[in-house]
Amino acid sequence: MDLIAKNNELEVQIESGSPLAYNLIMESETKPTFSKSTGLPRKRFYRARAHSNPLSDSHFPIPISPSHVDFSLHFPKFFGANNEEVSKKVEFADIGCGFGGLLISLATLFPDTLMIGMELRDKVTEYVKERILALRKTSSGGQYENVSVVRTNSMKYIPNYFEKGQLSKMFFLFPDPHFKEKNHRRRVISVDLLDEYAYVLRAGGIIYTITDVEELGEWMRSCLEKHPMFESLTQDELDSDPVVELLCSATEEGQKVARNGGQTFRAVFRRIAYVS
């Protein structure tokens, strides 16, 4: 069962006076993987390899269609049991969300928008889940109830999670460069994969990409320019978009690049309407 779903069940049990639930929650509060001062998980206990091979087989649940994704487990404050009377849908997807820095920033910038991170590495996904749960618990006013994370391979299963035209924003921040030419097929941005991204993005939806590898930056921009369903944002549009400045400042990778005085290469494109 999903960690966030487990936490929701424990809260129900503790409200009913279950001693088992109380002991489990107290145990989680005293885990050494959490900072005593902030109550947040500590990254050093969740470190993993920088990237995973997206073409390898991984073992985790995969929904057979978007209607089989129970988002009530991720956003219990927004959904009824078993997705009953769903009035909101996920609109933002952070592909390869890493340690969740962008998601956490977006959650307060867009408090009424549901967003989810999609991460292949199990330890990193676990960290983001723990971080979100801790922030929900320590924040007031229902903050961070609109953000969640799922372990999955987005290069294979994007259409399994989102309906046609569901998303308004997709983020691809500092993806694996896969430098060797024979591994370029592993890159998360390609002309072929853009077909799937265009499918789940609504007309007017935005794809945000950024990297500190110039060759990869040129590759992603070239793929987007070649695809008939995307057009580049103008400089005025970029300047007026509050999300753009977060692409570098909100992520661990972006902060590292800034500290080292490195360059970043950004490509932000709009999904255009289909004209038959």
Residues 6+ apart with CB under 8 A from 102: 94, 171, 173, 246, 247, 250, 251
- CA–CA separation, 113 and 91 (whole Å): 7
pLDDT tier at 24, thresholds 50, 70, 90: very low
Least Cα distance to 241 among 268, 210, 262, 275 occurs for: 268
Q: What is the pLDDT of residues 61-82, one digit of tens each?
A: 899 999 999 888 899 888 766 5
For residue 238, what are the contacts with CB-CB under 8 A and spacing of at least 6?
244, 268
Coil, helix or strand at residue 57: coil
Q: What is the pLDDT of residues 121-143, one digit of tens each?
A: 888 999 999 999 999 998 888 89
The phi, psi pair for 180, rounded to 5°, reads -65, 135
Strand partners, 230: 271
Q: Can you say which residues are annotated as belonging to the binding site?
A: 96, 119-120, 153-154, 173, 251-253
Which residue in 69, 212, 106, 93 sits closest to 149, CA to CA? Answer: 93
Annotated binding site for S-adenosyl-L-methionine: 96, 119-120, 153-154, 173, 251-253
* Catalytic annotation, residues: 176
